[in-house]
Amino acid sequence: MPASIDIVIPVLNEERALPGTVATLREFLRDAIPNPCRIVIADNGSDDSTPQVGRGLAEEHPDVAYLRLEQRGRGLALRKAWLESEAEILAYMDVDLSTGLNAFPKLVSAIGEDGFDLAIGSRLMKGSVVKERTLKREITSRTYNIIIKAMFFTRFSDAQCGFKAISRRAAQFLIPKVKDQGWFFDSELLILAEKGGFRIKDVAVEWVDDPDSRVHVVRTARDDLKGLLRLRMGGLSSALRRGDP
């Protein structure tokens, strides 16, 4: 039987986007993915009507679940949803579906068939297509990933793309070691994974910038750099000493 999959959608005040996203994703999964799939709406602190919308979608569809967290933080939402999941493959994607869903089967097969521990969407590798991205965000993203490679000699190409999958085994081992609860969660997870000997597959994606994105580029970049310095100054070696994969 194909591996079971949980796809987490972290949301914060997404009452308008959520119904359309869930409908689009359910239709895609039904047609393109033979595995048993569940969509998990991880609401981390919404104060609009997102809770009512999320609960309604979960009541309407048996393959949709709603998870409420009072504290905000994308990393916190992924940590709770993934660690509590019993699915064999754990994934997440942004609610705006900026990343083309046609790449999702490649994430699944990388873990379920090819033996990789993580599979990540990349906007920066050969074969990827990026549309409507501002120059500021493009330069910030490329510079950030260059800094990661320079500091940690990593091979993965795009730490921040909101389109990733991980095996349950790898998640159970790695996530308790990740300290960040916000946007740096992805980067920290990937650095720990590669340095811990886990296999990571980069997948080229089609990506369209969302002009309504809630990401504050400058603040996020500043927090990410703080996180990198924390890992570089001993956080990485300390985390890797706590157990073996």
At 52, give phi and psi (nearest 5°). -65, -40
CA torsion through residues 18, 40, 128, 108, sign: negative
Residue 129, both tokens? 């297509």
Give the orientation angle of helix 217-230 with respect to helix 185-195, to 10 degrees: 30
Give ∠ CA 46-121-19 in degrees, rounded to 5: 35
Burial class (CB in 10 A: 0-12, 13-18, 19+), 190: buried
Q: Is 186 a catalytic residue?
A: yes
Dihedral sign computed on CA atoms, order 102, 30, 78, 66: positive
Query: Nearest-CA neighbor of 151 among 232, 237, 239, 235?
Result: 232
**Which residue among 94, 158, 180, 186 is the active-site one?**
186
Return d(Cα 85, Cα 40) in angstroms, integer: 10
> Tokens standing for 111?
């873990």
Tell me the catalytic residues. Answer: 186
